[in-house]
A and B are shown apart, each in its own frame.
Chain A
Amino acid sequence: MLELLSYGDSGWGDEIIAGLSVTLSLALATLPFGLLAGFFIALAQNSQDATLRAAANIYTTVFRGLPELLTLFIVFYGLPLFLNAVYGLFHPAPDLQINNFLAGMLALGTVFSAYAAEVFQSAFRGIAKGQYEAGTSLGLSWIRTMRFVIVPQLLRLALPGLSNLWLILLKETALVSAIGLPDLLRQTGIAARVSKEAFLFFGVACLFYLLLSILSSFAIGYIERFTQRGEKI
């Protein structure tokens, strides 16, 4: 059994570690993209303009209502079609190719941003009107009010919700194994089929995900204490 898990030609250790790094880099690459998109969608949901609000609300309703697996397939197969259709307006023979990693990242980021928007939304509600007024009366522009007054408070308020989304994102990366990205689950799956030790290898996969969750919980606890350092008396 140890030989099956060893590093090198006879074991699957190196393949599994490679899969782990794909899982981690996918989650880490999705996070900033998803956060940024989520933030802007939340802004749009708070906009005074009804059309922008409606467009943003359709987005969150759709992507929070669809199975993540289906979103993954839709984005994975649909994105190249869509981009090439757009590209085709300017180019006679559209031939864009989208890397699998990018497609997976965009698909996961789409789902993440829809949920992150809701978290930001409720965080926005936790910030008093006076904070905006204070920014304006100090003569700060809208962007500077956001940057120096609102966003720092927003992040603290949104942190518990976002931490939860991060833990969900880590687990959701496992779905990309179904569209062919060599992540942790796919690599252990190949090992399981070839070696016929399915229980061992899927057990190992579960343990690795558990480990990632535990490590994340520690990191989140640390970040939460850091952001709350100004709240202590």
Chain B
Amino acid sequence: MKSTLSKLVTLVASLSLITTGSAFADGHLRIGTEGAYPPFNNLNADGSLTGFDIEIAQALCDEMQVECEFITQDWDGIIPALLANKFDAIIASMSITEERKKKVDFSEKYYNTPPAIAVAKNSSITSASVPDLAGKTIGAQGSTTHSNYAEEKFSQSEVRLYPTPDEYKLDLENGRLDAVIDDVVVLSEWVNSDAGNCCKVVSTLPIDPVINGEGAGIALRKGEDELREKLNAAIKAIRANGKYAEINNKYFDFDVY
């Protein structure tokens, strides 16, 4: 009993419950990411992070000569967590939109890909048009530009919001959903893997600049201008020196910028 208690005390003490300090100043940057959005950011079985976002972030940190630490956070709480100072930047395929700019600042984009619709292989849905999807059930990850897109453009369909893409994938596979909407790269990656062989991508959707924004950027707390300028310079630098192309080609067979 005593040893359990002392273990518990050590555990609680080791959690360093309240800390202070915006760490960027001392050459240390804390980056928030989701870890559930392959191929952009995903957790390996051993708990390490992998993906396009992660490698780009790492390249940016090398370029800025700062040490980076990744912190995973659920998507629907990722902006509140940034505002609550749980990390200093979000690199998690977050689209730069006017809605979000009210709360956070963004770097320049580091990639831009359109949304798409995926359905079951034997589905009767043959195009991603409004009449084809009328009365159907569309799944999307909540709090994303894709869920906003579905709610605005497919107002005659029922939109269901899920915490992570994993859940809508399960529900598309078992037939609770007729279609799902997400980034074309995310959906293509999935349907081409063993896990997604139930389903296919019907087509991409035209980008709506108001909803989809200007592509994915790095979100920062408002007023962190020095950090933003450094990140913009670093994005330019890795675009110029070939590092970006190297990472791009590792994941995709086209330029996502």
Contacts and interface: CB of A to CB of B under 8 A. Distances in A.
Interface residues of B, number: 27
Given A77-B80, A180-B77, A196-B170, A95 B15 contact: no
B77 A95 contact: no
B166 A193 contact: yes
B240 interface: no
B8 A193 contact: no
A28 to B, nearest CB: 6
B85 A96 contact: yes
Interface string A77-98: 1001100100000000101111
A95 B21 contact: yes
B19 interface: yes
Interface in A76-126: 76-77, 80-81, 84, 93, 95-99, 101-102
B80 A95 contact: no
B15 A99 contact: yes
Interface string A136-151: 0000000000000000
A216 B19 CA distance: 34
Interface in B54-111: 73-74, 77, 80, 83-86
A98 B17 contact: yes
Interface of A is mostly: helix
A27 B50 CA distance: 33
A198 B163 CA distance: 16
Interface string B155-180: 00000000110110010000000000
Interface in B14-65: 15-22, 45-46
Contact of A29 (B12, B21, B74, B166): B12
A50 B80 CA distance: 38
A66 to B, nearest CB: 19
A18 to B, nearest CB: 10
A179 B77 contact: yes
The 9 closest A-B pairs by CB, nearest first: A80-B84, A193-B166, A102-B17, A180-B74, A99-B17, A95-B22, A97-B85, A77-B80, A95-B85
26 contacts: A9-B45, A29-B12, A76-B77, A77-B77, A77-B80, A77-B84, A80-B85, A81-B83, A81-B84, A84-B84, A93-B22, A95-B21, A97-B18, A97-B19, A97-B84, A98-B18, A99-B16, A99-B19, A102-B17, A102-B18, A179-B74, A179-B77, A180-B73, A196-B170, A196-B195, A198-B170
Interface of B: 8, 11-12, 15-22, 45-46, 73-74, 77, 80, 83-86, 163-164, 166-167, 170, 195
